[in-house]
Amino acid sequence: MMTRARGDVWRLAAAAAASNTGNWAATIALSLAVYARTGSAVWLSASFLFTQVPSALVAPLSGAMADRLDRKRIMIICDLLGAAAYAGMAVTGSPLGLIALGTLAALLHSPFGPASRAAVPNLAGEANLTWANGTLAAASNAGQLAGPALGGVLYALAGAGVAFAANAVSFAVSAAFVAAVRGRFRGERPPAGTGPAAGTSTPPTGSMWAGVRFLWRGGALLTLTLVGAVTFLATEIIAVADLPLIHHFGVGGVGYGVMNAAWGAGGLLGALIAARVISQHTETAAAVLGVLVFGAFVAAIGLSPWFALIPLFSLLFAASDSFAFVGFSGIYQRGTPDAIRGRMFAAVGAITTLASAAGYGFAGFLVEAVGWRPVYLGGGLVDMACAGVLALALRVTGKPPGGEPALGHASAP
């Protein structure tokens, strides 16, 4: 059973690596194509906002679909619909058409994330859960490392259409890997008259807003979500500060590429290590220390006198971010009954996505007002303060908030 569970997780990881590589390649190609055809930063900003924010607005519906319908079937259908949308982008020339189809692809694919993350505890089992989260994070980071380079090369050699077509293929490949998974994507239904797993309060399961209400009542889980939102917001702001940073040191596009490669490699390395060293009993410590170390190295970039140190700091803060992600994922999964886990993850995704959009919204003004060094330093200090808040909320006990793991029976939606 353990061998089969690990095989299923590897198949899910392969799906994540394929789709994430294609998505990042398409994102880079979309940005380059929109800017080349319009010459407008406003259009470029629109391409980011309209392909991210709408999926957050339909998150309650996406989560409800992940909880009430067959999760495996939902994931396959989302991949195939996403492939169709990107195939349409491959033959579309206008910037408006590209943004519209990109937005449609994001909307059609939005139930995939909640369904996938909600299914992991059922596929992996309690003993394999932290390994599974680390393996899936590593696969996503591998795509994040390879995708931008692939997108840039495809755009330069053959144009944006080829990059969009490649993403359509990556979605189809992802669907094939998901179809090959043999395990259960949801928990067994409980006998009539029984409630959720022992130690958890009965969650509100009937509404598509059940995930939001569960988070609101969850205490530590709500704190976890708010801390995640603040760190996402800070990350988007410091991303805007990267260009003034490379201008300050005079390292140009090569330096920018080195920074991003170090960030991607750090995320991949951190996830691989996290999959091996984090256990159920250290998930809360990994979450807190991951955020703390992340903030420390972000602040260190703001203080660095030499560019040579910055790729190293980027690698280390990305690695610590992967540790935090694995810890966060395990806490959420163990602390949430299966029947509403999709809606809970959809709510978390919506909150963090909107925080990212807010960061994009005023990052440029903040960087221009105070400069890149204070932005990095301030962002790092905010992250470190968030780690302190998180430590108080979780008490670093090694137990998931809300009681014992909610990986068994769960109330039906």
Tell whether 25 and 124 lie within a shared domain: yes
The conformation of residue 190, written as its DSSP 8-state character, comes to P
80 and 7 part of one domain: yes
- The pLDDT of 329-352, averaged and rounded, is 88
- Non-local (6+) Cβ contacts of 198 within 8 A are 403, 404
**Structural domain includes residue 306:** yes
- What whole-number distance in Å separates Cα of residue 195 and Cα of residue 216? 20
Owning domain of residue 4:
1-184
- pLDDT: which is higher, 284 or 257: 284
Please identify, among 120, 150, 184, the residue that sits at the C-terminal boundary of a domain. 184
Phi and psi dihedrals of 186, rounded to 5? -145, 165
Asked if residue 189 belongs to a domain, the reply is no
- pLDDT, average across residues 349-370: 80
Burial of residue 135 (number of CB atoms within 10 Å: 0-12, 13-18, 19+): buried
Same domain, 376 and 250: yes
- Using pLDDT thresholds of 50, 70 and 90, give the confidence band for residue 2: low
Q: Are residues 220 and 157 in the same domain?
A: no
Q: Is 174 found in the same domain as 307?
A: no
Same domain, 176 and 237: no
Q: If pLDDT is split at 50, 70 and 90, which confidence band does 168 have?
A: very high
- Domains held by the chain: number: 2
pTM of structure: 0.80
Question: Residue 195 above 50 pLDDT?
Answer: no
Q: How confident is the model at residue 244 (pLDDT cuts 50, 70, 90)?
A: confident
> pLDDT at residue 302 above 80?
yes
| pLDDT reading at 17 higher than 70 | yes
C-alpha–C-alpha distance, residues 267 and 301, integer Å? 17
**Tokens representing residue 218 in the block:** 């969850």
User: How buried is residue 191: exposed, middle or buried, by Cβ count under 10 Å (0-12/13-18/19+)?
Assistant: exposed
Structural domain contains residue 197: no
Tell me which of 199-208, 314-323, 403-412 is least confident: 403-412
> Could you tell me the CA-to-CA distances from 265 to 143, 261, 300 in Å, in that order?
11, 6, 19
pLDDT above 70 as % of the chain: 88
**Same domain, yes or no, for 251 and 324?**
yes
The pLDDT, as a whole number, for residue 300 is 95
pLDDT at 201: 41
Cα(74)–Cα(54) distance, integer angstroms = 19
Higher-confidence position of 38 and 299 = 299
3-state percent breakdown (helix, strand, coil) of the chain, nearest 5? 80, 0, 20
Based on the fold, state whether residues 397 and 266 are members of the same structural domain: yes
User: Is there a single domain that holds both residue 248 and residue 158?
Assistant: no
Determine the average pLDDT of the residues in 11-31.
89
C-alpha 344/C-alpha 196 separation (Å) is 15
Is 241 found in the same domain as 172?
A: no
112 within domain boundaries? yes
Mean pLDDT of 76-102: 91
Helix (H, G, I), strand (E, B) or coil at 188: coil
Residue 413 lies in a domain: no
Give Rg (Cα) of the chain. 21
Q: In this predicted structure, what is the pLDDT of residue 196?
A: 39
| CATH code of the domain containing 71 | 1.20.1250.20
What is the rounded end-to-end Cα distance, in angstroms, of the chain? Answer: 28
Is position 200 within any domain? no
Residue 234: what pLDDT?
Answer: 84
Verify that 154 and 63 share a domain, yes or no: yes
On whether residue 96 sits in a domain, the answer given is yes
Structure tokens at 358: 């807010």
pLDDT digits (tens, 9 = 90+) for 115-151: 998 899 988 888 888 999 999 999 988 988 888 888 8
In this prediction, residue 400 has a pLDDT band, given cuts at 50, 70 and 90, of very low
Which residue's entry shows tokens 């980071």? 141
For residue 388, tell me if it sits in a domain: yes
Q: What digits encode the pLDDT tens for the residues 54-78?
A: 788 888 888 889 888 899 999 999 9
CA atoms within 13 A on the CB side of 287: 35
In a shared domain, residues 113 and 220: no
What distance in Å separates the CA atoms of residue 116 and residue 76, rounded to the nearest whole number? 11
